[in-house]
Amino acid sequence: MAELGTLTEVDIRQVWTNEARDFTPWLKDNIDQLNQVLGLDIEITEREGAVGPFAVDLVGKDLSSGHTVIIENQLEPTDHTHLGQLLTYTAGREAKIVIWISPQFREEHRQALDWLNENTGEDQAFFGIEIKLVRIDNSRPAPLFRLVSQPNEWQKSVASSRTTSARGEAYQAFWTIFLEKIKKQAPGLINAKKGLPQNWFNISAGRSGFAYSASFKSKRRFGVELYIDTGDKDKNEQYFDQLYEQKEAIEQELGSALSWERLENARACRIAIIRDGSIEASEEELNELQEWAITKLIKFRDVFGKRIKGLEIKSTAEE
C-alpha cells in the first residue's frame, strides 16, 4: 500500500507578515493560481490603484471579456470595513468582476456577496475566496484557494441570453466550441470557462499589456494577432519596434507572413495574420476556422512568448 503524507495548515502570518507589503505583491506575481480557481484570465494592471483618496489592492482586466477587475485582500477574518471599501472601489472603478480574499469569511459577509450576485446585472460578478496555506509533511507551504461565494452562472447566463442578438448568439456558440477544443489541444493556455457573445476572444500572453487574440474583423475577415497595449503609447511602440527588428526570424518560425500594424493614430499596436472568414459561414467552415485559430495561437505563443519576456524599454529608467 502506498504511503500518504499528512496535510497540515500553516499560519498564514508566518509567510505573509504584512498584507500590503507581502501578500499583495505575491498575488500580483502569481495571479495565474487565482485564475485557475476562478476560470478567468485576469491580467493585473495596477497595484494600489487610486479610487479618490483611497487605494484598492489590485486592479486588472479579464482578457476574455475586457471587464475591469478589482481585488481586495485581507489577512484576517472579513469585516464590515472591508465590505464597505469593496463596494466603494467597485463603484469608483466601475468594476464588473470583484474579488474579496480572506483566510476566514464570516457568514454575514458571505451572505452579502451572495445577495449582490443575485441582485446585480448579469455582467456583474462578486467572488469571495478563502485562502489557506498548507503543507504535506515537511514540504514548503502552498496556497489553497477555496470559493465561498460566486455568481450563479446559470441564472446570469439565462438573463444574458434574453438580450443577446442572433449574431451574438452565433459568436457565443462559436467561442464555446473553440474553448472546448483549445483546452484539449493546449491545456493551460486559457482559463476561461465559457464563450461570450462578442466577436473576439483574448488570451494572456504572459506579460501585462500583451494579449493574443482571435477575432472576426468584419463580415468576411477573421484573424489571430498579438495585441500590445500597456496603456502607454510610447512603450507600446518601443516594444513593437523591438519585435519588428526580428520580423524575418519571427515570420520564418511561424511559417507565415504577418501584418505589422504600428497604428500611428492609435495607442495600441498589433501584429496579425488575417484570412477570409465569416460567422455566417457553414458549420464545416466554422469548424475549420476554429482549428486554424487554435493552431495559429499555439504558434504565436511558442514564437512570441520568449521574445515578449525579453522586451525592455530603451531608456535609463527601468520599465
Q: What is the pLDDT of residues 94-134, one digit of tens each?
A: 999 999 999 999 999 999 999 999 998 888 999 999 999 99
Q: How far apart are CA 208 and CA 228, in angstroms?
A: 9
Query: Which domains can be identified in the chain, with CATH numbers?
Result: 7-158 (3.40.1350.10), 165-309 (3.30.1460)
CA atoms within 13 A on the CB side of 223: 17
CA neighbor of 46 nearest in space, from 216, 256, 209, 264: 209
Q: Would you state the cell numbers that stand for residue 307, as one nine-digit string?
A: 521574445
How would you write the pLDDT of the chain (319 residues) with one tens digit per residue? 778 889 899 999 999 999 999 999 999 999 999 998 998 889 999 999 999 889 999 999 999 888 999 999 999 999 999 999 999 999 999 999 999 999 999 999 999 999 999 998 888 999 999 999 999 988 999 999 999 999 886 455 544 544 568 888 999 999 999 999 999 999 888 888 888 889 999 999 988 899 999 999 888 999 999 999 988 899 999 999 999 999 999 999 999 999 999 998 889 999 999 999 999 999 999 999 999 999 999 999 999 999 999 999 875 444 4
From first CA to last CA, the distance across the chain in angstroms is 53
Q: What global pTM score does this model have?
A: 0.75
- Amino acid identity at 147: L
Residue written as grid cell 500583451: 210
Please answer whether residues 106 and 78 qualify as being in contact, where contact means their C-beta atoms are separated by less than 8 angstroms: yes
Please answer whether residues 228 and 239 qualify as being in contact, where contact means their C-beta atoms are separated by less than 8 angstroms: yes
Q: How far apart are CA 233 and CA 266, in angstroms?
A: 8
